[in-house]
């Protein structure tokens, strides 16, 4: 069996293999969508394919939508060539349950895959054609937190952003510049309304998205690339809205075990690939069952009936509280606390680390003790019930195969949100954050992880992160086994508000983090010993 439109025609074999197929005419949906797209998604990786693609698939199945999603990739173009094109944009969604069972379904809702390459005339022309469509209602994004960043930690523009600002819309390469260029195309062709919907894990993501796009537009205006009317169009949220969202679904790298099981069932070519940009991806996506999507209901050109597929459509304030609940207290802080320690303590799988009493206690203190004291309550979701589900069901799900290294990807881009917001809340409530204990342990653990030496003295590979080189330069001279080698290397890091969203020394915990870190570099076994010591305080 081949995961292609032609391969799906032999439905009996798929059903015999326990794989559900679309009940709708996929080719008809593809054709209709190509002619008049209504929903574009930028950043076409795993969580998008199984979660957002699954929402669209459900709406089409239930007759609530007759078009699918137009997909556009802005960074890793191998994904289009290796995963979308050979499989006719189909996705094999595999839900991994805690008891080891799986649900398997082919999704046909992803109708086209385009590369957002300004240097490819054909692809760029198609992008423009899509964005000129007056019936286009929404553009959603999953490009990770770093996709919205324009500047380095010192506030200067990244080189590629600087090039985009100097070269103008027709040579845009970065995500925010491509979005601004496509909005310009829409502006020049009728100024139709549009919702731009970030679905990435960062608090107030819509606000960050809007600020980045506006900054690109303003810089282009200074250089004569765009007119004042374009700035007015992008600035008017009754025309171009940037709804805030909260998204949650643990989607680990594709599992070779799942690939083998699918191939044993008769599905050909299921093995994962690693692209030239180090993306781990496969024709299938494996993920947990629980999922949450909360969206601010601000769509000036209309929208799909997403609430019919389990999406919470609500107010900006409720989204903000839901996002803060997840990103600053319940889920992401625990991932960021335990991911680095997992690598240092020799754990490959996160579920195995969750069996470690010390790590479980760290998770408990970060979430229940320190986070719950300042957690926002969104009303539509219970923070405690959400955290209970994570600690007791979701995190221990060994069948997800989620790795500690995955949890270390791009930590520098999110640590200020995941811990900095709670630190600031404690400062606002108590005058300083000295009551915090677990969060300083977690931050010290991330810094210890960056040394690339585990608790037994063995080297390991660091996960991708745009600030790894800069951080290691700042920490130069620190030697595991020599606590005296730590002098003032951490001061420029812990005081950096671009990293932590606050100066941790002014918050009263900078010195404590230094003390923990110093003890953790004492030698073999020092990390475990230090964590135990401070957790007991």
* pLDDT tens digits, one per residue of 292-346: 999 999 999 999 999 999 999 999 999 999 988 998 999 999 999 999 999 999 9
Give the per-residue pLDDT at 529: 98
Cα 536 versus chain centre, distance: 33
Cα 367 versus chain centre, distance: 20
Residue among 186, 164, 199 nearest 236 (CA): 186
3-state DSSP assignment of residue 486: coil
Give yes or no for residue 153 having a pLDDT over 80: no
**């809007």: which residue's tokens?**
210
Give the per-residue pLDDT at 464: 92
Sheet holding 284-287, edge to edge: 102-107, 91-96, 284-287
Give yes or no for residue 156 having a pLDDT over 80: yes
* Cβ contacts of 60 within 8 Å, gap of 6 or more: 22, 24, 29, 66, 67, 68, 108, 109
Give the per-residue pLDDT at 146: 87
* pLDDT tens digits, one per residue of 93-102: 999 999 999 9
Query: What mean pLDDT value characterizes the chain?
Result: 96
Give the per-residue pLDDT at 283: 98
Distances (CA, A) of 68 to 27, 33, 64, 262: 11, 6, 11, 25
* pLDDT tens digits, one per residue of 399-429: 988 899 999 999 998 899 899 999 999 999 9
pTM of the model: 0.85
Question: Following DSSP, what letter does each residue of 259-328 receive, concatenated?
Answer: HHHHHHTT--S---EE-TT--EE-SEEEE-S--EEEEE---TT----GGGGT-EEE-HHHHHHHHHHIII
* pLDDT tens digits, one per residue of 35-77: 999 999 999 999 999 999 999 999 999 999 999 999 999 999 9
Beta bridge partners of 72: 42, 114
Give the per-residue pLDDT at 355: 97
Residue among 517, 352, 374, 388 nearest 442 (CA): 517
Q: What percent of the chain has pLDDT over 90?
A: 94
Do the beta carbons of residue 423 and residue 507 sit within 8 Å?
yes
Euclidean distance between CA atoms 427 and 422, whole angstroms: 9
Give yes or no for residue 203 having a pLDDT over 90: no
* pLDDT tens digits, one per residue of 440-494: 999 999 999 999 999 999 999 999 999 999 999 999 999 999 999 999 999 999 9
- Give the number of other Cβ atoms within 10 Å of residue 227's Cβ: 14
Euclidean distance between CA atoms 148 and 320, whole angstroms: 18
- Give the number of other Cβ atoms within 10 Å of residue 299's Cβ: 19
Give the per-residue pLDDT at 77: 96
Beta bridge partners of 94: 104, 286
């Amino acid at each position: 069996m081949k995961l292609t439109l032609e391969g799906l025609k032999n439905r009996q074999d798929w059903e015999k293999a326990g794989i559900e197929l679309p009940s709708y005419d996929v080719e008809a949906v593809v054709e209709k969508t190509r002619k008049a797209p209504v929903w574009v998604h930028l950043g076409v990786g795993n969580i998008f394919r199984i979660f957002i693609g699954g929402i669209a698939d459900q709406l089409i199945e239930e007759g609530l939508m007759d078009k699918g999603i137009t997909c556009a990739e802005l960074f890793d173009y191998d994904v289009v060539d290796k995963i979308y094109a050979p499989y006719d944009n189909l996705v094999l969604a595999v839900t991994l349950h805690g008891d080891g069972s799986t649900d398997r379904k082919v999704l046909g809702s992803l109708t086209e895959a385009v590369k957002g390459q300004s240097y490819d005339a054909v692809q760029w022309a198609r992008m423009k054609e899509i964005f000129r469509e007056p019936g286009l209602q929404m553009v959603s994004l999953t490009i990770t937190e770093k996709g919205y960043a324009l500047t380095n930690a010192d506030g200067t523009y990244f080189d590629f952003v600087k090039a985009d600002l100097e070269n103008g819309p027709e040579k845009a390469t970065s995500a925010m510049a491509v979005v601004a260029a496509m909005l310009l195309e829409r502006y020049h062709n009728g100024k139709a309304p549009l919702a731009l919907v970030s679905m990435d894990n960062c608090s107030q993501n819509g606000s960050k998205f809007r600020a980045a796009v506006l900054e690109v537009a303003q810089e282009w205006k200074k250089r004569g690339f765009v007119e004042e009317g374009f700035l007015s169009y992008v600035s008017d949220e009754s025309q171009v809205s940037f709804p805030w969202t909260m998204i949650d679904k643990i989607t680990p790298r594709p599992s070779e075990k799942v690939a083998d099981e699918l191939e044993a069932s008769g599905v050909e070519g299921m093995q994962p690939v690693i692209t030239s940009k180090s993306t781990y991806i496969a024709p299938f996506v494996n993920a947990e069952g629980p999922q949450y999507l909360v969206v601010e209901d601000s769509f000036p050109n209309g929208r799909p009936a997403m609430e019919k597929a389990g999406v919470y459509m609500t107010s900006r304030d409720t989204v903000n509280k839901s996002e803060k609940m997840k990103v600053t207290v319940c889920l992401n802080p625990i991932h960021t606390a335990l991911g680095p320690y997992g690598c240092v303590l020799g754990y490959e799988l996160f579920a195995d680390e969750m069996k470690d009493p010390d790590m479980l206690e760290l998770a408990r203190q970060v979430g229940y003790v320190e986070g719950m004291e300042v957690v926002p309550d969104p009303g539509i979701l219970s923070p405690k019930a959400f955290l209970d589900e994570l600690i007791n069901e979701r995190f221990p799900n060994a069948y997800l195969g989620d790795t500690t290294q995955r949890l270390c990807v791009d930590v520098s881009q999110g640590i200020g949100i995941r811990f900095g917001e709670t630190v600031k809340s404690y400062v606002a409530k108590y005058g300083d954050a000295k009551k915090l204990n677990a969060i300083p342990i977690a931050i010290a653990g991330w810094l210890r992880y960056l040394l690339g030496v585990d608790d037994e003295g063995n080297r390991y590979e660091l996960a991708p992160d745009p600030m790894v080189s800069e951080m290691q330069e700042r920490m130069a001279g620190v030697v595991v086994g020599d606590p005296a080698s730590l002098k003032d290397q951490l001061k420029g890091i812990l005081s950096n508000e671009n990293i932590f969203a606050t100066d941790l020394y002014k918050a009263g915990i900078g010195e404590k983090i230094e003390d923990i870190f110093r003890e953790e570099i004492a030698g073999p076994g020092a990390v475990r010993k230090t964590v135990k010591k401070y957790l007991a305080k």
